Amino acid sequence: MRADAALRVAGKGEAVDAAALMIEGVTKRFATADGPIVALEHVSFSVRQGEFLTLIGPSGCGKSTLFNIVGGLLGGYDGRVLVDGRAIAGSHRAIGMVFQEESTFPWRTTLDNVAFPLETAGVGKAERHARARELIKLVGLDGFENRYPAEMSGGMRQRTAIARTLAFEPRILLMDEPFAALDEQTRLLLGDKLLQIQQALRQTTLLITHNIAEAVQLSDRVVVMTFRPGRVKRIVEIDLPRPRTSEIVSSAAFGQYVASIWNDLREEASQGLSESEAAPLRRPSHH
């Protein structure tokens, strides 16, 4: 069915591997008490079907703003977002989101958290539980179906949230710093898990992270953004063999990618730092 969709889009003489998602000249301004700010400026890139693409950039460069636009949570921008070649407005059923902050329901078990989207879609109990169990297995939480979020670690709760988003069967998965609150080892292991999931489902995946190693480990391409206004600074193709596991982080090629992206980011990050040092008394920004 995915192949069909790609072919349909390719019908007008375009390449067969039509982009699953296109961001075209997106500019977003916010009015703040300190005056208008340009959060994103002419951001354009496209994401291939089944691609794993990571967005990296200093804090405040507009990464979450871009995801919120793509996910339909934020309007009032210039430019266009296209799914399968069609401009979208507002939320789109092909797109699922996973956030940084806790989003599991504390009063529901793992099974009922993951089954929640199916429940709201009116899927019967036996079927939704069967499907939820498959997803729970996919994220490596089998055996924990009847646990409540409070009885599990942060990493396990985040996997529950990912499985729940997968239950919507999104063709495009957006993850905004899903591992930010986790320790380094858990991050690496969850990164492996994400790669396994993506290989199993062939989902188009967009990830936001601050972590350069994580970006290189997981991605086909990394989009490096500039500090305010957020623009695309460079798109780095990560030409490392797949399937990948966290073991790849010790290879020389891996280290070179990390160093080169860090080079790009250092400039942007120091600009962000000097700006925040220059204005220490300004009220904290909105996230």
Query: How many chain residues bind ligand ADP (CB under 6 A)?
Result: 15
At closest approach, how far in Å is the CB of 93 from ligand ADP? 24
At closest approach, how far in Å is the CB of 97 from Mg ion? 12
The binder of ligand ADP chosen from 19, 61, 136, 238 (CB under 6 A): 61
CA distances in angstroms from 85 to 3, 45, 56, 112, listed in the order given? 14, 13, 25, 35
Q: Are 229 and 85 spatial neighbours (Cβ–Cβ below 8 Å)?
A: no
| Position 209 contacts Mg ion (CB under 5 A) | no
Looking up tokens 């089998």 gives: 142
> Which of Mg ion, ligand ADP, none does 286 bind, CB closer than 5 to 8 A by kind?
ligand ADP
Residue 200 region by backbone torsions, left for phi larger than 0, else alpha for psi between -120 and 50, else beta = alpha
Residue 135 CB-density burial (10 A; 0-12 exposed, 13-18 middle, 19+ buried): buried
At closest approach, how far in Å is the CB of 17 from ligand ADP? 29
The stretch near Mg ion (CB under 5 A) out of 64-72, 87-95, 167-175, 182-190 is 64-72
- Residue with Cβ nearer Mg ion (64 or 198): 64
The stretch near ligand ADP (CB under 6 A) out of 10-18, 58-66, 138-146, 215-223 is 58-66
| Position 64 contacts Mg ion (CB under 5 A) | yes
At closest approach, how far in Å is the CB of 70 from ligand ADP? 12
Q: Which parts of this chain interact with Mg ion (CB under 5 A)?
A: 64
Residues near ligand ADP, by CB under 6 A: 30, 32, 37, 39, 57, 59-65, 285-287
